[in-house]
Structure 1
Amino acid sequence: MKKFIYLFLAVAAFAAASCQEKMVSGAKGTLAFTLEYDGNDYIDISTKAVDFNLSSMAVVIRDAGDTEVASYPDASAMPAEIQLAPGQYTVKAYTSGVAEAAFDSPSFSGEKEFTITEGEVTTVELSCGLDNVKVSVNLDKSFTDAIKDYSVTVTAVNYDKSLVFTSQYIEEGKAAYFAVSPLKVNVVGKRISNDEPVDIVTDIEDVNPRDHFILNISVKEVPSTEGSGTIKISIDESTNDRNVDITVPAEPVEPVGAAPEITFSCPDDVTFTDAEAQSAVVDVTIKAENGIENLYVKIESQTLLGLLGGLGLGDVVASGNWDIANVSDPELAEFLGGLGLYNAEDPIKGKTEHTFSIGLFMSFMFASPDPYPFAIRVVDSKGQETSKTLTVHRVAE
């Protein structure tokens, strides 16, 4: 149900004998009035309705010739009675001293014609509705989860007047009021993930008095990450509430390409006799279109780890778990170089394809009922990784 400010004018017209003797018209009327405010939902401040101050309203009465016959800049100071000659009049009430853009400053106005008739009482009800434009901001969780240091600036284009909704104002539920004009909305901030600036502009062209624009701002995937976002307006004609959906494009997802590949020159699970082991070719080929970031070779055979520990080398070598794309330990570099797994002159990191051999490990692997697993794991520059295990069995004949 719509709620308004009501100006009740009780008009009594009567023949005044003393006036008839002195006036050509021969009659006057008395205008008795009250001005009341019936609390409404247009002037919520920080989600709490405020008492309307009658002193902010001005009242003007004009006759049929548009001549001002009475005016009151402070409606609360109007006299109890006003004498008027019979005839046609217009009464107008309006909020005085309203800014073209201000927070929590609604403006109301209304006017109506009435007639003073000799010997009759006329009651005039004047409804004063909002005559400027209300704007409020509603942030979706998708926005606050993704954007920081944000603010929303709304500009009345025809007057070049702007108001800034800070995060505090939005949280407090402040409403902004503008003189009727096309509006420009500018949402700025930074993405939490990477500090990338966000700057979205939305124009609202169809603006009328008493419109309430609710700016619903969210982050969503949109077909294009260029441009100023999207806007959708739905109108509830009974209240003039108008939802404006402003979409901030989600952070673009950069294509990461294919995950790395690991292939072996032999079956994943292979058996060699002592004779075959002497000439066995056991190559590992890595392909990573985004470039190799890490390339781990891990010996999972306790037998081989025991042999490594007995070489008297440092813990880095004895661990049997090496990132051969990032070798900084000199002793490890020398050891891996001797096995053909590392060459300082041919860095592995950044390559899109690399092949190495574990064939030289055959001299450390004796016939045994226990297998010799080698776990290979590669990570590319986009963080994608692939793992694969080569299991070697050794038998006497």
Structure 2
Amino acid sequence: MSNMKAIKKLVFICLASILGLCSACMNDNPDFGRDDEGTGNTNQGEGQVRLAGTSVSVSVDVLSRADGKAINTDDYIIRIYSTDNNLLVKEYTRYRDMPEILTLNVGNYKIEALSHDVKPAEWEKPFYKGTQTFTIKKDEVTSVDVIKCFLQNIMVTVDLNDDLKQKVGGDQSITIKVGTGELTFNNNDIGSGRAGFFEAAEVSNIIIVHFQGTVDGEWTEEQTSFSNVKGGEHRNIMFNLEIPSVGDMGLSVKLDAVCKKVDLLAWANPGAEDILPEDPSVNPGTSAPTIVGQGFNIMDEIEVEKDETKTIIVNITADNGIQNLKVKIDSETLTPEILKSVGLSSEFDLAHPANADLEKALKSLGFPVGSEVIGVKYLVFDITQFTPLLGLYGLASHNFIITVVDQANNTRTATLALKSIAKKTE
């Protein structure tokens, strides 16, 4: 009997020891599955990203007309996010302070470069931002080359036509409001080229305009608005004096406002209209590819009626031969899911389609692919057969972001902006 008690006691001690050991092991790492950076990535190891060769470039200097200064990116803010859980991993308040190499947990990331933390409205302060994505693999080194930054906020200038300038009393002002941002252009600002910059919503924005002042001896106020304005655009708002017809003589002063989309490069460099912005990724001694609309300015939005088959052709040249011809479809209605359902993708490379099904779908729309693109110096990108699809899921805006990379690694990007509209009545 005493032997049985001894055996039971021994078993109890062993079980207690095992449970105690398990408890100790569990307490050693209560946050198992989280990394030290707080990115939420599981412990799958680490890798490195080489940042020594990373450069930040800006597509267009919209202030060159005003002050002639080149954009200095040394003080740009750099932020690195984990795209697996949308958490900020690293931040450098100045690009020049970024390390040459950085160790990160295995996972997917994006690196952002931005000129500053944007405000709802600012005078003469364009907000530039660019993003690159990269993947960290265990015990491997990846690299990020060029982060291309583009204007993100809305640039607004205001003016009066010659007839109205002769009638105003000098006390006029024009207030511009976009979202929560608001700026007032006084008499000295109007027509001077002074620009206001407004934070932009991702899809579309409305500019609200309010004029007030003495016109032809009479206090006048006029308010109007303009929709479908996007970040990265320069809008010049011109107020005109409406000349009354014979039957309207004696009525109050009437004003009319026109909101015109302006070529950023042409504004910064008068006389340079219809010239694409110089791309900073062009290698010295070589010429960059060109992307030119056939019969239209590539920077202008084109309206396409619902169910219309509209001829839209973009001519592409690359003196060094094409290496990649990438297209990204950024549409309010033709989502990646919808495009996938018909065998397409929201992003593809005509030179190197991702798979045979995608290649077949692209060919069915009349797009050149593979050997029809690689090494070619002149190419016709005809999207005519695609236009009937634009209004299929409702009236919306569609951007075709075209990027050409030549065999000398020069790059040119342009956006073909299309807008599906209702059928016009006869």
Superposition TM-score, scaled by structure 2 size: 0.44
**Structure ranking higher in strand proportion:** 1
Larger radius of gyration between Structure 1 and Structure 2:
1
Superposition TM-score, scaled by structure 1 size: 0.46
